Amino acid sequence: MMSVPRYWREIPERTRFEGARCTACGNTLFPPRMKCPKCGSEALEKYKLPQKGKLMTYTIVRSPPKGFEKMTPYVLGMVKLDDGTIVTVQITDVQPNQVSIGMQVESVFRKISEDGESGIIEYALKFRPIF
């Protein structure tokens, strides 16, 4: 279960993919931090991550955490976006056995989970193969 404010706080990151970029060295940060871990600069600006990338690695989840039972088996992956930033996301719209390392993927707005019948429904970006 997740409180409404807790979900609401992360909407820019989860639904618009807003991270940060260091104006000193160009490093991108997702999620954002107080300082650039590369150069230590605090001069960070809001930055929208690219919507496309390449699948770096993945796993097929067969033993899900609570709340994800209905969609099991599902694919979890790390995507290297076109600017080099890496994100952990679900891979969707594809059979698990069709997924391969290196495949081109793009972001798509999807439901992640729901907190029971009367709780909030949580949305965020997932990635799907570009065919």
Partner 1 sequence: MRRVAVLSTGLTKVDKQWRKSIKELYGDAARLAIKDVKIPQIDALIVGNMCASDLSDQNNIGALIADYIGIAPSTAYRIEAACGSGGAAVLGAYLAVASGMYDFVMTGGVEKLTDGVGGNTTHSLGKAADAEFELFYGSSFVSLNAMLMNHYMHHYHISREDFADFAVLMHKNGSRNPYAQLPFPITRETVINSDMISDPISLYDCAPVGDGAASLILCPLEDAPKYSDSYVEITGIAGATDTINLSSREDLLTLKSTVSAAEKAYKMAKVSPRDIDVAEIHDTFTITGVLSLEDLGFCEKGKFHKTLANGGFEPGGSISINPSGGLKSRGHPVGATGAYQVAEIAMQLTNKADKWQIPDAEIGLAQNIGGSGSSTYVTILRRSR
What Cα–Cα distance (Å) separates residue 76 from each residue in 35, 64, 91? 28, 11, 6
- Mark residues 3-22: x for contact with Zn ion by CB under 5 A, - for none: -------------------x
**Residues 46/31, Cβ–Cβ less than 8 Å:** no
41 binds, among partner 1, Zn ion, none (CB under 5 to 8 A by kind): Zn ion
Work out how close the CB of 45 gets to partner 1 at its nearest, in angstroms, rounded to a whole number: 18
In the block, residue with structure tokens 């729901």: 114
Q: Does 61 bind partner 1 (CB under 8 A)?
A: yes
Contact with Zn ion (CB under 5 A): which of 2, 23, 27, 114?
27
Contact with Zn ion (CB under 5 A): which of 3, 15, 41, 72?
41
Contact with Zn ion (CB under 5 A): which of 11, 25, 43, 130?
25
